[in-house]
Amino acid sequence: MTKVVARPGSARTRALRLLAENHSNTELVTPCRLLLVFIVSSIMIAGISFSVVPEDFQDGSLEEVINLTQQPYTFNHEMAMKEREYNLEYYQRPQHNWKVERRSGLSVSEFFDTYDAKWPVILTDVVSKWPAINWTKEVFIQKYGKERVVMKAVVGGLQHATGHALPLEVFIDHLNEASFDTWTYLEDELFLVMRPELRKDIGQNEYAEENFFNLFPEMVRPWDCMMLWGTAHSRSTLHMDPYNWTGISAVLQGHKKWKLIPPGQDHLLYVDPEARCGFPLECRKYNSPIDAFDVDTKKYPRFKRLQVLEADVYSGEMLIIPTGWYHQAFNVEQTLALSQQMMNRNNYLAILEEIIKAGNLKRKKLPTYFSTLLPPDQVKVLMSLLPKKVLQHGHDVTKDILEQIKKTKDNQNKVKSGLEDGQENMSIWV
C-alpha cells in the first residue's frame, strides 16, 4: 500500500484542507458553506478596512479582546516540534533528534516548515557566495585601522568582561594574544551598519528575505549586522537573543563551536529577570551568568541537568538559531563572523510579545481586531501605536552609543554599549 503523506502547512491550512475533504462529495451550496463564506468574507473585509488604525480604536475601549490583545502570547515549542515532525515526514527527511544538520540547496518552504523557529540548521551554500568571504586583515588595517571599534576584553574568565572602544588596528595587532581565560572579542553592532561599502559585500540570504523588522520605524529598528572578530578562546555569553528573535551567525573566517539549548530549560540557567538589553526599544536581556564552555558547577549546580546540543560551524557556513533557544559561541581559532536576525511569519508574535512585555506599549492599546490582521499588518499596527517617547528613546540610545564611541580619547576607555557589565578601570595592553 502506498503511504500517503500529507502536505505541510500551518494548522489553519490543515483545518481548511480537512474541511474541504469532509465536504468533497456534497452539494455545492449548503447552509454550512454559506456560513463559511460569510465568516471568511467578514474577516477579509475587517482585515482590509483596519489595515490603518482609526483614531477611535486606539484607546482599546472595545470589549471583545482576543489573542495578543488580551493575554501574553507564549510560543508553543511543543506544537512547533509536532509540526516539524509532521513536515519532516512530508519532506521524507530522517529525524535526527540531537543533531544539527548541514544543508545546501534547501528550499525556503522546507526551511520554514522544518527548521525555522523549530530546530537549528547549518546552511553551507549562502555565506560562501558573499564577497565578504574575501575580506582580509590587511584591507581592514589599511582602510579602517584608525577607526574605533567596540571590544570586549576578558582577563581571568568570562565573568570579568569589560567593554572598550579602541582603534581597529590596535585590536588587530593583539589578535594572537589569548589563552583559555584571557582573550579579546570585537563585538560591534554599528561598525558595518555605518559603512555601506562593507555592507554591500554581505550578499543575499533568501531564507531571511521576509523581514518584518523592516516594518519598524527606523529609530527603533534593531541594528541588523553585528561584526564579531575574536581571538582564539574568545566567546559570547550564554544568552537568548534580544526580543527573542531568530539568530543568524555567518562565519567568514575561522571556526565556531556552539552550545545550543532547546527551549523549556530557562529555570536551569540563572537568568536575572530584571536585566534589560539596552536596545533602541526596551527589551529583556536573557543572559545566563554561566560559561557553558567552562562551567562552575558548584556555583551553578542546575546546569548539570541541562540538555545541550553542540555544533561546529566553519568558514563559509551559516548557523540559524531558532527563537527561544539559548546559545553560546566559542571561537576555536581567530574567527571573523557576522550576526544578523530574523523576524518573520514564524516568530513575529513572540517578538511582539517581548516588545509589549518590556513596557514599550500597553497591551490594552492594541485594537481588538488585532489578531484578525495579516502578520505584517499586525506588526505595522503595533509599531504605529508606539508612544512618541519610546521612539525618542530609541533615537537617543543610538545617538548616545555613537557619541560614546567618538569621544573616547585613549585606547583604554570603557564604553557602555549594551555589552556585559564589567569591572571598572581594567586596563589592557599597558
Residues forming the site for ligand AKG (CB under 6 A): 226, 228, 236, 241, 247, 249, 256, 327, 329, 337, 339
Distance from C-alpha of 241 to C-alpha of 327, rounded to nearest angstrom: 9
CA separation, residue 58 to residues 215, 382, 384 (Å): 19, 10, 10
In angstroms, give the least distance from the CB of 399 to ligand AKG.
Answer: 23
φ and ψ at 149, to 5 degrees?
A: -125, 160
Smaller CB separation from ligand AKG, 234 or 378? 234
In angstroms, give the least distance from the CB of 96 to ligand AKG.
Answer: 22
Q: Which residue has the cell 537573543?
A: 241
In angstroms, give the least distance from the CB of 251 to ligand AKG.
Answer: 8
**Is the dihedral angle over the CA atoms 349, 351, 357, 360 positive or is it negative?**
negative
Q: Which residue has the cell 516588545?
A: 355
In angstroms, give the least distance from the CB of 321 to ligand AKG.
Answer: 7
Smaller CB separation from ligand AKG, 232 or 373? 232
Smaller CB separation from ligand AKG, 140 or 325? 325
Strand order in the sheet with 318-321: 101-103, 121-123, 318-321, 246-253, 335-342, 226-230, 182-188, 148-155, 161-167
**Is the dihedral angle over the CA atoms 93, 98, 104, 107 positive or is it negative?**
positive
In angstroms, give the least distance from the CB of 306 to ligand AKG.
Answer: 17
In angstroms, give the least distance from the CB of 305 to ligand AKG.
Answer: 23
Smaller CB separation from ligand AKG, 247 or 367? 247
- Spatial neighbors of 398 by CB under 8 A, at least 6 apart, are 219, 280
Helices (H) and strands (E) in the chain, counts: 10, 14
Smaller CB separation from ligand AKG, 339 or 344? 339
Smaller CB separation from ligand AKG, 88 or 228? 228
Cβ atoms 160, 128 nearer than 8 A: no
In angstroms, give the least distance from the CB of 249 to ligand AKG.
Answer: 5
φ and ψ at 235, to 5 degrees?
A: -155, 160
In angstroms, give the least distance from the CB of 241 to ligand AKG.
Answer: 5
Smaller CB separation from ligand AKG, 87 or 334? 334
Smaller CB separation from ligand AKG, 75 or 185? 185
Cβ atoms 360, 292 nearer than 8 A: no
Residue nearest to ligand AKG (CB): 339
Distance from C-alpha of 278 to C-alpha of 297, rounded to nearest angstrom: 29
